Amino acid sequence: MMIRRNFIKNTSFALAGLALGKFPMAEIAKYKDVIIGHNSHQYKIDLNWGALNSNFYPVKDCHEMVQDSRGRIILLTNHVKNNIIIYSNSGQLEGVWTTNLPGAHGLTLNVEGGEDFLYITDSEKNKVIKTTLSGKRVLELNFPEGEKYSAPNQYKPTETAVAENGDIYVADGYGEQWILHYNSKGELLNIFGGKEYFNNAHGIAIDKRDLKNPTLLITARQQNKLKRFSLEGKFLSEINLPGAFICRPVIHEKEIYLATIWSGDGGEGTGFVSILNENNRLISAPGGCVPFYENGALQPMYQALKVFHHPHDVCVDEDENLYVAQWNSGATYPIKLVRV
């Protein structure tokens, strides 16, 4: 059942989210005036954006963020008290609600008939739900019993992508690694991918940069790769990002943005943000080392500055500022990076 709460204004805890847990404020505060990133994509850290009073608005893992048609930033957490936190663009709280999803993981926004809808994956309840921005459920995709699955706990969806025609693609990134293709009514059309192609098919997006030839970009996180498939499920190519354990691809204009939850050998707390240009080359890595190509191949990446602790998603606004949500980071609120 959806629970709503009125906004309680409180600014006295403006920095509380960054001071919690094992990622102390002092660690990130020393980078307050440091410009991070490389080449054309460089940023300054905003230490004040989005932190709330955690007594009223606790978060557990901040998994993903999207921007709605009104310019608001919507955060998905797996804290059942408030799975959804809605911010103004400036970071002020506008609303919260929950659908009691302890495994809330993936958040996709799609505009349909002029209305914004959210697609939320829950890897613990083994389902995908579609809701309005106020939290009303309008569609639910449960585990697809049949040829590939015999029990709900085999299916642990992590992300969705929605095509122009309303078709829904679900990445089973914590389960059997299949990509499930549904129509807009929730009828299963196709299943492809699987462990032959993926070790942790964590994120999925529709790449429409070539308007005549949209494709799927799917994360193979443990393999440090993005894999490209046709909308019909045919494998086409891959992008190698050695040393970068990437989450979902976020496509904005001609670039691809990826939260990189671990780097180097995959050690704890070693993440950064990866930014690829229109040619799918890594051009900037805020928090990471300088991207370097040798003989056409990207050399292994690693964290250079401890700005982030397990970044899990990136949201890009109309001014190309970034909002970074983090997993397992001591219940911290998102970090904003201001484009310079």
All structural domains of the chain, each given as residue ranges with its CATH number in brackets, are 13-339 (2.120.10.30)
- For β-strands 3-5 and 93-98, DSSP reports them as antiparallel
Closest C-alpha among 91, 93, 63 to residue 77: 63
| pLDDT tens, position by position, 54-71 | 999 999 999 999 999 999
Closest C-alpha among 107, 153, 155 to residue 133: 107
Residue 74 has pLDDT above 70, yes or no: yes
For residue 49, give Cα distances in angstroms to 200, 328, 330.
Answer: 31, 19, 17
Residue 1 has pLDDT above 50, yes or no: no
Q: What average pLDDT does the chain have?
A: 92
Instruction: Look at residue 32 in the predicted model and tell me its pLDDT.
Output: 73
Instruction: Look at residue 9 in the predicted model and tell me its pLDDT.
Output: 36
CA distance 193 to 223: 14
Residue 33 pLDDT class (50, 70, 90 cuts): confident
Instruction: Look at residue 48 in the predicted model and tell me its pLDDT.
Output: 86
Residue 10 has pLDDT above 90, yes or no: no
Residue 166 has pLDDT above 60, yes or no: yes
Residue 25 pLDDT class (50, 70, 90 cuts): low
The percent of residues in the chain predicted with pLDDT above 90, rounded, is 89
Instruction: Look at residue 31 in the predicted model and tell me its pLDDT.
Output: 75
Whole-model pTM?
0.92
CA distance 145 to 165: 25
Residue 14 pLDDT class (50, 70, 90 cuts): very low
CA distance 253 to 185: 29
Residue 29 DSSP SS3: helix
Residue 288 DSSP code: B
Residue 201 pLDDT class (50, 70, 90 cuts): very high
Instruction: Look at residue 13 in the predicted model and tell me its pLDDT.
Output: 35
Residue 282 has pLDDT above 80, yes or no: yes
| pLDDT tens, position by position, 231-271 | 999 999 999 999 999 999 999 999 999 999 999 999 999 99
Instruction: Look at residue 147 in the predicted model and tell me its pLDDT.
Output: 83
The angle subtended at Cα 54 by Cα 49 and Cα 59, nearest 5°, is 85
Give the pLDDT mean for 209-215. Answer: 96
Closest C-alpha among 272, 195, 251 to residue 37: 272
Two tokens, residue 287: 């928090």
Instruction: Look at residue 334 in the predicted model and tell me its pLDDT.
Output: 96
CA distance 169 to 231: 9
Backbone angles phi, psi at 152, to 5 degrees: -55, -35
Residue 325 has pLDDT above 80, yes or no: yes
Backbone angles phi, psi at 290, to 5 degrees: -70, 125
Residue 175 has pLDDT above 80, yes or no: yes
Instruction: Look at residue 15 in the predicted model and tell me its pLDDT.
Output: 35
Partners of 5 in the β-ladder: 96
Higher pLDDT pick, 33 / 70:
70
Residue 7 pLDDT class (50, 70, 90 cuts): very low
Instruction: Look at residue 77 in the predicted model and tell me its pLDDT.
Output: 98
Residue 26 pLDDT class (50, 70, 90 cuts): low
Two tokens, residue 143: 């585990």
Among 27-31, 155-159, 195-199, 317-321, the range scoring the smallest mean pLDDT is 27-31
